[in-house]
Amino acid sequence: MSQEHNMRRVTAIRNGTVIDHIPSGQAMRVLEMLNMNKTTSVPVSMVMNVPSKKMGTKDIIKVEDRELTQDELNRLALVAPEAHVAIIRAYSVAEKMTIQIGEEVTNVVRCTFSNCITTNLREPLAHRLRVMGREPLVLRCHYCGRPQDLEKLIGNLL
Amino acid sequence: MAGLITMDDLSNDEIQSILEDAERLLPVAEGKIYLPLLQGKILGNLFFEPSTRTRMSFETAMKRLGGDVVNLGDVKTSSVVKGETLFDTIQMVDGYTDIIAMRHPRQGAAQYAQDAARVPILNGGDGAGHHPTQTMLDLFTIKQAHGRLDGLKVILAGDLRYGRTVHSLSHALTRFGCELIFASPKLLRMPAEIVEDLTAHGANVVETEDLLSSLEEADVVYMTRIQKERFADEDEYTKVAGAYKLHASNLEGTKEDMIIMHPLPRVDEIHPSVDQTRHARYFQQAFNGVVARMALLCRLLGVKVPEDISPAGGEL
């Protein structure tokens, strides 16, 4: 099946954001990480497990009438670090963005270690995970220093 | 001002220079000379969990140097019990004091406090995390006995999983090129991420369940307490803990200058018969807590320890 066919599964959007090359099965998590699983009011389309030359299969998300910011996209580094993002204006790609992971992942997830000081959610300082390695992604809590299990970490979204 | 949260906050040169300061401060720690270097400074002692040696030695260190100490007091009667966050507690104490010594049951609490405070934080233990001021006094004790830190063979024995003193110490010893032997029951092995870190930094680490067979080659044997509550049943504890007890009779054939250390309190992992041997260093080590913390308080408060601390004029 062609790329074109994938895109025709859902209609082209006029304005908004397309997130392509999401690892298969991660689209729901991507929506969760963007806090769009419950609270969004704009139309969101999602396809899952469609063929991809590069990845075998992949997921795609289209968000209408909303341009995601770089900060929002960077939250996706934990589940879809290779995702391609396009900002669509008047049916054409106006801007291409990639997910960038800096030195730290701040206030996206909280440390998975049960005895970390940050488990008290009333503590007001930012939840900070230091990026120790990129491929694969290796994160450690800034406070307790514990390495993070990425699978478990995704369950700790803020 | 930066505090001391983990040993990574100090370079090897800084460690050596603080140990040299500590050496010069010995007569002050012993009460032979009065040297009020920290007059007018106030230390806040924030101990959210029990401590005898760390808390008392910080207090003694501050007072020997002419400084003063305020205490959080019993956590049960402080505002912590009313649900105050660590952030808020630190905001308050930060305003009252020039430097804070803190112990907290949660890991990462010291870094958290440092991020919340303007004054330096001295980490006196955070959960199973770090205990760098203990490491400084341990290094001081090792250097006092061997005249050096580098290239020694050190056995760390007992509870290596939950024992924060051995976590900080093993990092520091690795930086000085020491060879490490971790002797512990399987259940209480050094956490994998720490062993990974140490080997990534070039450490030569051997893990074993057999303490006694390594004794002869060691320069330092660092014992820790195995806590009963770590085991599911008492029989298992009794079986395991027995293999990590030192008696004077175990010390035959060991090196002349081998020293036995323990962060204390001990239960029965070091038999009193060891106390009388030339190897026992744990009470000296506990005393060294004062002098090492004196040197750290001066360093973090930006007060220079004089090169020459002579009794003239200050002798008691």
Phi, psi of B123 (to 5 degrees): -75, 115
CA distance B87 to chain A (A): 6
- Give A147's contacts in chain B (Cβ within 8 Å): 193
pLDDT category at A3 given cuts 50, 70, 90 is low
Using an 8 Å Cβ cutoff, are B231 and B237 in contact? yes
Over chain B, what is the mean pLDDT?
92
Question: Which two tokens mark B17?
Answer: 């220079």
Query: Is pLDDT above 90 for A115?
Result: yes
Question: Which two tokens mark B152?
Answer: 């020694």
CA distance A53 to chain B (A): 37
Choice among B55, B64, B130, B131 that is catalytic: B131
Report the SS3 class of residue B32.
Answer: coil
Cis geometry, peptide bond prior to residue B185 (ω within 30 degrees of 0): no
**pLDDT score at B311:** 67
**pLDDT score at B98:** 98
Query: Is pLDDT above 60 for B289?
Result: yes
H helix or E strand, kind and range, residue B235 = helix B234-241
**C-beta atoms of A144 and B83 within 8 A:** no
The arithmetic mean of pLDDT across residues B124-138, rounded, is: 94
Report the SS3 class of residue B1.
Answer: coil
pLDDT category at A19 given cuts 50, 70, 90 is very high
Annotate A12-71 with three-state secondary structure: CCCCEEEEEEEECCCHHHHHHHCCCCCCCCCCEEEEEEEEECCCEEEEEEEEECCCCCHH
The proportion of chain A whose per-residue pLDDT surpasses 90, expressed as a percent, equals 60
Tell me which chain B residue has its CA closest to the CA of residue A127. Answer: B112
Which of 153-212 (B) contact A at CB < 8 A? Answer: 193
Inter-CA distances, B254 with A109, B139, B221, B232, Å: 51, 21, 11, 35
Query: Is pLDDT above 90 for B17?
Result: yes
Residue A98, beta-bridge partner list = A84
Q: How many residues does chain A have?
A: 158
The DSSP output letter for B119 is S
Quick one: how many helices (H) and strands (E) in chain B? Answer: 10, 9
Q: Is B32 a catalytic residue?
A: no
Q: What digits encode the pLDDT tens for the residues B45-100?
A: 999 988 888 999 999 999 999 999 999 877 776 777 778 899 999 999 999 999 99
The DSSP output letter for B256 is T
Q: What digits encode the pLDDT tens for the residues B180-208?
A: 999 999 989 999 989 998 999 999 899 99
The arithmetic mean of pLDDT across residues B158-168, rounded, is: 90
Q: What share of chain B is helix, strand, coil (3-state, %, to 5)?
A: 45, 15, 40
Query: Is pLDDT above 80 for B157?
Result: yes
Q: What digits encode the pLDDT tens for the residues A22-31?
A: 999 999 989 9
Query: Is pLDDT above 60 for A2?
Result: no
Using an 8 Å Cβ cutoff, are B223 and B262 in contact? yes
pLDDT category at B140 given cuts 50, 70, 90 is very high
How big is the CA angle at B224 (ends B14 and B123), to the nearest 5 degrees? 40
**pLDDT score at B291:** 98
ipTM above 0.85, yes or no: yes
Report the SS3 class of residue B177.
Answer: coil
Q: Is B82 a catalytic residue?
A: yes
Distance in angstroms (rounded) separating the CA atoms of residues B109 and B82: 18
What is the interface size between A and B, counted as CB pairs within 8 Å? 62
pTM greater than the 0.80 cutoff: yes
Inter-CA distances, A93 with A8, A16, A85, A90, B228, Å: 16, 10, 10, 8, 65
**C-beta atoms of B129 and A144 within 8 A:** yes
Query: Is pLDDT above 60 for B1?
Result: no
**pLDDT score at B26:** 96
The proportion of chain B whose per-residue pLDDT surpasses 90, expressed as a percent, equals 78
Using the Cβ of B53 and the Cβ atoms of chain A, whether some distance falls under 8 Å is answered with no
Using an 8 Å Cβ cutoff, are A114 and A140 in contact? no
Tell me the domain boundaries of chain A.
3-98, 104-154
pLDDT category at A35 given cuts 50, 70, 90 is confident
pLDDT category at B110 given cuts 50, 70, 90 is very high
Using an 8 Å Cβ cutoff, are A60 and A20 in contact? yes
**Fold of the A104-154 domain:** SH3 type barrels. (2.30.30)
Strands (E), chain B: 42-47, 68-71, 99-104, 121-126, 153-157, 179-183, 204-208, 220-223, 259-261
3.20.20.10, 3.30.70.140, 3.40.630.40, 2.60.40.1180: which CATH number matches A3-98? 3.30.70.140
Residue B280, beta-bridge partner list = B260
**pLDDT score at B204:** 87
Q: Do domains A3-98 and A104-154 have the same CATH topology?
A: no
**pLDDT score at A136:** 84
The arithmetic mean of pLDDT across residues A27-56, rounded, is: 88
How big is the CA angle at B224 (ends B222 and B229), to the nearest 5 degrees? 165
Cα dihedral A152, B161, B140, B180 sign: negative
Question: Which two tokens mark B273?
Answer: 């018969």
